[in-house]
Structure 1
Amino acid sequence: MFQCITGVKEERNHPIWLSHSSAQRKSILHPIQGRRRRIKLLEKMIMLSLLFMTVALAVMIVFLVKLLTKGNFSRNLMDVGKGRISVFRLFYSVQSDSRNFGGEIVADVLKAHGVKWVFTLCGGHISPILVSCEKNDIRVVDTRNEATAAFAADAVSRLGEPIGVACVTAGPGVTNTLTAVQNAQMAQSAVLIIGGATSYLLKGRGSLQDIDQIGIMKPVCKHVVSVSRVRDIAPTLRKAIQIARSDVPGPVFVEMPVDALHPIHVVEAEMKLNRKPNSIRGYLIHWQAAKFYHCTIHSFAFQNRFMELYLSRLFSDAWKPTDVAPLPVKYKKASSFQVKSCRDLLTRSKQPLIIIGGQAMLLPDRIQDLVSALKVINVPCYCNGMARGLLADAEHIQMFHKRREALKEADLVILAGAACDFRLDYGRSLNPEAKIIAINRSNALLRQNVNVFWKASIFLQADPCDFIIQLADSLSDVAAYVQPEDWLRRLKSRDQQAEEDISKLAKTELTSPGINPIALLRNIEELIPKDAIIVMDGGDFVGTAAYVLKARGPLKWLDPGAFGTLGVGAGFALGAKLCHPDLPVWIIFGDGAFGFSVAEIDSLVRHQTPVIAIIGNDNGWAQIQRTQISLFGSSIGCVLSPAIAYEKVAEGFGAIGFAIDSSNANELNKMITSIKDQPRAAFVNALIGRTNFRDGSVSI
C-alpha cells in the first residue's frame, strides 16, 4: 500500500487500492503528502541555514583579516565604534584623504591613446574631465552644439587620428549627439562619446537630466557601457577604444556618473553622511533629523550605513597604479589562398573594374602602399566617399563619370570596401554576367542585397586596403599579366567627354535668376589650392559640386557618407583644420545645410581656425523642391527666405563675409585672394540660380 501511495505505477493497480473510493484515496494520500512537503521544506531551510552560516563565517574571517592588516587591531575597533571610520572602509581600500579624482584618470587614458583634442559643450557632469584634459595638454575644443562636437570628433578620426573624442553632459547633451553618432556609425568612424550621468544611486529617482542613456545610445553605437567604480574607469575606456578601432570601426559610448569623476571628499560632503554623535546635543539633532525624515533612528542609521557602503565601494582601490596603454587593434586579413583565387580571376579578365569605398582608407599609414598597389594592378578605378582623392597622382586609372555604364560592361568587378546599397542601386548596377569579388570588414555589408539583385564569385571578410596590396604583390608570380590598356583608354575617353559636357552646362540658361552654379563651381575648382581639404555639406549645390570639384589627395575629402546628414560642415571643418593647421580647408555649403552651422561660426572664430566657406544660396531646399513640384505640383515646405544676408551673419560672429551675385561674380577671384591668408574664417554668400543639371535625382 505504501508503495502504491508513493507513486509506483504497478501498485496503483492493486485490488485493495482500486476497491477504495476517490474520497477514501484522497483521505489516505493527503496527510502523507503533507508530511513529505514539510520534510522537503525542512531540508531546504537546513541547507539555507548552512549556506548563511558559511557566508557569515567567511565575512567574519575577511573582516578580521582586514582589521589586522590595517594596523593596530584595538585602534581599528575603537575607530569603528566611535564613528571615525565607516565599518565598510575595513572591507575596501579607500584613501579618504586623497584629493585625486576620476576625471584625472579619464585624461590619463586619453593622453596615453594619443588623443590631442576633446570636443565638448561644457556641463556640470563633465567638468572634472575637461579640467583634467587641460592639465594634461589635451586641447579642449568647445562648440555651440553637442552634434558639432561629435561631428568634429568624427572628422579627426577619418583624417588619421587614433580616435575622435567628444565629451558631453548628461541628458540632452547626450541626445544631441545622436544624429552625429549615427553618421559616424554608418561612415565606420572610430569615435568615443563620453557622456556624463547622474550618480548611480540617483538613477531612476528623478535626478536632473537622468534618462536611460545606455538604452538610447545602444542602437547607434558599436559598444555602450556605464562605469560604476572609479577603479574601472581606465580598463573600461581602454576596452571601449579598442572596440571602436577594431574590425569595423564605429562609435562607442561610455557613461561616467558624476560621483565617479569628483574627489571623495566632495562626494562625501554632498551625501551629508552623519557620523555617530559624540555629545548629548548631537544625539538630539540626530533624533530630530530622524523625525524630520519620517523614520526611526534605526532606519535613518541604516540609510547612513548604506550610503557609506556605496561610497566605500565607489572609491575602493581607486588610486592603485593601473595600465592606461592602448590595447591592440584587431581586424581580419585575407589568406594567401584567397588572394591567389582573386588573382586568377583578375588575370583572366579583359575588362576589370575596381570600386574603392571609404573603408579602404582605415589604415592611413598604408595609403601610399595602396596607391602603389593600384598602379601595379593598373585597372580603371572609381573612388567613393573618403576614398576620393586617393588616386590624385594616378589619374590615368581614376575615373569620375559614367560609372553605371562601366559597371554594366565590366566582366570583373572588385568591390574594395564598397557596399551594394543605394549608391550601387542595391547591386542592380552590376553586370549580372560579371565575376564579382567583394571585400569588406563588415560581414553584413559584404553580403548586403546578395542573391536579391546581385551575386558574387568570392566573398572576403577582410580589410580592403590590405587585400589590394596583397593582390598587387601576388601579380609578381604571374609570368605575363596583360594589363587592360584598351579598356582603360575607352573609359578614360568617355570620362573626358563627360567633363566636356559638364563644361558646356556652365554656359546654359538658368531656370531662375543668379549665378550659374556650375560656372561658379568650375571657378572654385581653379581657386582651391592643390593641398586643400574639401568639406561638403548640402543637398543640390553639393550634389552638383561632386561632379565638378576634385579631391586634392588622399584623406582630403570629407562628406557625410551613406547617412546623407546635413549639418556636418562646421564640425568637419573644425576637426580638419585642427588636424592640419597648415593646410587650407574649404567648405561647400548649401544654404539649407548652412543653417545647421550658423552658431558654429563663433566656434571657428574663437578657436582661430581660418576656413573658407562658399554658401550656394538659392533660397530653398532645391533637391527636394524639384521632385516635389514634378510629382505633386507644390513647393510647400521647400522655400527659404531670399533676404538672408549670410555674409552679415558671419560678420556678426567676427568672421569675414562677402556676397556675390550675377552682377559681381567675376570678383570672386579677387575676394578669395584677399581672404586666403587671413587668420579668420571667411564666408562667401553666393546667390545662385538653378539649372536642369540634376533633374531626375530623387532624394529617397
Structure 2
Amino acid sequence: MAQTMAGHLVAKALRKEGVGCVFLLCGGHVAPIYLGCEEEGIRLIDVRHEQTAGFAADGWARVTGRPGVALVTAGPGVTNTVTAIANAHRAEVPMVVIAGRSPMSTFEKGSLQEMNQVEIVRPITKWARTVPAADRIPEYVAMAFRHALDGRKGPVFLEIPIDLLLQSVDEDRVYWPEGYRTESRPWGDPAYIRRAAELLRAAERPVLLGGSSLWWSGAAEVLKRFADRTRFPVFLNGMGRGALPPDHPMLFSRSRKLALGQADVILSLGVPFDFRLGFGRGVAAEARLIQVEIEGSSIGQNRRVEVGIVGDASAVLEQLADEIGPLEESRWVAELRREEERGWAKIALKCARDSVPINHYRLVKEFSEVVDEETIVIGDGGDIVVVAGRILRVHRHGHWMDTGPLGVLGVGIPFALAAGAARPGRKVLVLHGDGAFGITAMDFDTLVRFGIPAVCVVANDAGWGQIRTPQVVFFGQGRTTATDLSYGTRYDRMAEAMGGYGELVEKPEEIQPAIRRALDSGKAAVVNVIVDPWGLVDEADTREMAI
C-alpha cells in the first residue's frame, strides 16, 4: 500500500500530461500542490501577482501550442487571476487554472478566503469544476485538459479544497485515466469543400484571411502549399502572423483595405468578423464569403456566409488545395502589389523621421532591424502595438504574441516569462507602451530571479496615448484629463535596481545599438525610449475611445 498526500496527485497528473512548468504565487491553500510539483521535477516560476501567473500560462500556450498551467490560492488569488482568464477566453487560448479552496468540511461557515469561485469564473471559462474527492484528482485533471483542448480552445478552471489536498491517499486505489483525449482533426464536409472550391476557382479577386486557428491547427506548411498552388493573396492577423514567411510572394499587409473592399470571394480561416472587421462591414458588400471555423456557432456572425465549413483549419486548407488545383496568378494580384508598394512607401517616410523626441514609427523601424528568425516578439500596449502591426515582419509561426481582442494591457512581461522558459536560447523582445509596462512591471524582478534575458523596449510617451490623443482631438486642446503619466520616468533605472540591465534612449540613432547592447548583456533588460507624446496626432481617430 503506497500512501501519498493528495496534493502530490495533482503534480503527478500534471507530469503525466507532459507539463514541465507551472506559474504560481504561493498560498496556503495550494502549498501541497507546488511542493508535490517540486518533487516531480516540474519547474515552478513564482511571480509577484496572480494576474502575471495567469498571463504567463496564456503565453506558454501561445508559444508552445500546449496548455499553460497557473496555480493560484483561494479567494483573492482567484479574483486576481480573472482578467487573465478572461483574456484567454476571448482569445481562445487553452489554459488550465488550478486553484485552492476553503475546506469542504467548513464550507459556508465563513472560512478564510471562502467564496463561490466556480460561479465567478464560469462565464469566462469553457469548463469549471470542484474536485469532490481526493482520490478523483487525476480524473479531474484529465478532464480539465480534455476540455481546454477540445474543439474551440480556451481556459478551464479546477478548484481543490485544502482539506482534500491534505488527505493521505492509497495510490494503488486511485484511478489514473488513460486514452482520455483524441488528437483527431475534423475535416470539412466534402460537399461543402466542392462548393467552396468552385467559388474560389471562378473568383476574379479572391482573398484569404487567416487568423489564430492557423496556429492552433499547425497550418503553416499547408498554408504555404495552398498559397503556392492557388496564387491567392493572403492576409494574416492574430496568431496567424508568421504562418507565411515575410518574403513569401503571396503574403500581403499594406493593401488590406483595398483587398477587402474589392474582393469578390473571401476565404476566412478562423477570423472573427468582430470590431476589427467593422462587424462585417469592413469587407465588400457583394463579396461572397467562405468561412471556416472549428465550431459552427461562429459561422455567419455579423456577416452573411455563402459557404460555411466546420473543420480544422489545416485539414480544410489541405482539402481545398487538392480540390482547387494549381491556378495562374491573376491581374488582381498585380494590382494589390502596386498598392503594397504605395503603402510601404508611405510608411518608409514616417520611419525615416529624425525628430526628437522620437517618433513611434522610427522606434518600431529600428526595433524591427534587430528581429530575426529566432526572435520571439511580444506586443504590449496601444499605439505602439498598432504601429508595430503595420511595420513588423514576423518570420515564424508562433513568434508574435499580443493581447488579442479583449485589449488587455500588461501581458508583456508575463508573456516574456513564458517565452523565455519555453524556448531557452531564443531572443525575446517585448515592445511596451509605458502604461502597459507599469501594470506588471514588478514582475521584471521575476525575469531577473529566473535568469530569463528578455529585453523590454518601452515606448515612453508619458501617457495612455491611445486614449489621450483622440480625447484631445475630440474634446479640445488641453483635455488630457486622466491620460498623462510623468514625463521621462526612468524605467531603465528601475531595471538596474532589480538586478537587470537598463539604458535610456533619447535620439533615434541610439535605439538599435541600445537594444543590441541589452541583448548582449545576457540579463533581463529595459531599454527606455523617450517618445513624442503627440507623434501620432495626425492619425487620431476618436472612434477608438468607444471601440
Q: TM-score range by the shorter chain?
A: over 0.9
**Structure 1, 367-376 or 525-534: larger mean CA deviation:** 367-376
Q: Which residue of 2 aligns with 1:222?
A: 126
Match of 2:259 among 391, 397, 406: 406
Superposed, which structure 2 residues align to 1:515-594 within 5 Å?
A: 515-594=358-437
Superposed, which structure 2 residues align to 1:611-626 within 5 Å?
A: 611-626=454-469
Find the residue that maps to 1:676 and give its secondary structure.
Answer: helix
**Structure 1, 455-464 or 116-125: larger mean CA deviation:** 455-464
Structure 1 unaligned spans of 5+: 1-94, 265-314
The CA RMSD measured in Å over matched residues stands at 1.8
**Is structure 2 residue 12 aligned with structure 1 residue 111?**
no
For residues 212-248 of structure 1, give each alpha carbon's deviation from its aligned partner in whole angstroms, at most 9, with x where no partner exists.
1011010110000001201111111111110110000
Counterpart of 2:300 in structure 1: which amino acid? R
Q: Tell me the CA shift for residue 675 of structure 1.
A: 2.7
Q: Tell me the CA shift for residue 393 of structure 1.
A: 5.4
Superposed, which structure 2 residues align to 1:232-243 within 5 Å?
A: 232-243=136-147
Find the residue that maps to 1:105 and give its secondary structure.
Answer: helix
Structure 1's 158 and 647: CA in aligned 2 closer, same or farther, altered over 3 A?
same
Q: Tell me the CA shift for residue 99 of structure 1.
A: 4.5
Counterpart of 1:577 in structure 2: which amino acid? G
Higher helix share: 1
Q: Which residue of 1 aligns with 2:503?
A: 658
Q: Which residue of 2 aligns with 1:396?
A: 249
Kindly indicate whether structure 1 or structure 2 has the higher relative contact order, using CA contacts under 8 Å at least 6 residues apart.
Answer: 2
Work out whether residues 231 and 319 of structure 1, in 8 Å CA contact, stay in contact via their aligned partners in 2. no
Structure 1's 370 and 521: CA in aligned 2 closer, same or farther, altered over 3 A?
same
Q: Tell me the CA shift for residue 390 of structure 1.
A: 1.1
Q: Which residue of 2 aligns with 1:472?
A: 321
Q: Which residue of 2 aligns with 1:100?
A: 4
**Is structure 2 residue 345 aligned with structure 1 residue 500?**
yes
**Is structure 2 residue 193 aligned with structure 1 residue 339?**
yes
Structure 1's 670 and 247: CA in aligned 2 closer, same or farther, altered over 3 A?
same
Distance in 2 (CA, whole Å) between partners of 1:396 and 1:252 is 40
Indicate the structure (1 or 2) with the bigger Cα radius of gyration.
1
Q: Tell me the CA shift for residue 552 of structure 1.
A: 2.0
Q: Which residue of 2 aligns with 1:356?
A: 210
Find the residue that maps to 1:343 and give its secondary structure.
Answer: helix
Q: Which residue of 2 aligns with 1:441?
A: 294
Distance in 1 (CA, whole Å) between partners of 2:66 and 2:434 is 33
Match of 1:369 among 222, 227, 251: 222
Q: Which residue of 2 aligns with 1:179?
A: 83
Match of 1:462 among 311, 322, 333: 311
Work out whether residues 112 and 325 of structure 1, in 8 Å CA contact, stay in contact via their aligned partners in 2. no
Work out whether residues 113 and 325 of structure 1, in 8 Å CA contact, stay in contact via their aligned partners in 2. no
Q: Tell me the CA shift for residue 414 of structure 1.
A: 0.7
Distance in 2 (CA, whole Å) between partners of 1:666 and 1:238 is 53
Find the residue that maps to 2:132 and give its secondary structure.
Answer: coil
Find the residue that maps to 1:677 and give its secondary structure.
Answer: helix
Q: Tell me the CA shift for residue 372 of structure 1.
A: 2.3
Distance in 2 (CA, whole Å) between partners of 1:559 and 1:673 is 22
Work out whether residues 356 and 417 of structure 1, in 8 Å CA contact, stay in contact via their aligned partners in 2. yes
Q: Tell me the CA shift for residue 545 of structure 1.
A: 1.7
Structure 1's 568 and 143: CA in aligned 2 closer, same or farther, altered over 3 A?
same
Match of 2:335 among 490, 503, 519: 490
Q: Tell me the CA shift for residue 139 of structure 1.
A: 0.5
Structure 2 unaligned spans of 5+: none
Counterpart of 1:475 in structure 2: which amino acid? I
Q: Tell me the CA shift for residue 258 of structure 1.
A: 0.5
Structure 1's 693 and 245: CA in aligned 2 closer, same or farther, altered over 3 A?
farther
Structure 1's 326 and 238: CA in aligned 2 closer, same or farther, altered over 3 A?
farther
Distance in 1 (CA, whole Å) between partners of 2:472 and 2:517 is 41
Distance in 2 (CA, whole Å) between partners of 1:222 and 1:673 is 42
**Is structure 2 residue 43 aligned with structure 1 residue 190?**
no
Question: For this pair of structures, how many residues does the alignment match?
Answer: 540
Distance in 1 (CA, whole Å) between partners of 2:223 and 2:37 is 36
Distance in 1 (CA, whole Å) between partners of 2:224 and 2:80 is 38
Distance in 1 (CA, whole Å) between partners of 2:300 and 2:39 is 47
Distance in 2 (CA, whole Å) between partners of 1:111 and 1:337 is 43
Q: Percent identity?
A: 31
Distance in 2 (CA, whole Å) between partners of 1:467 and 1:263 is 48
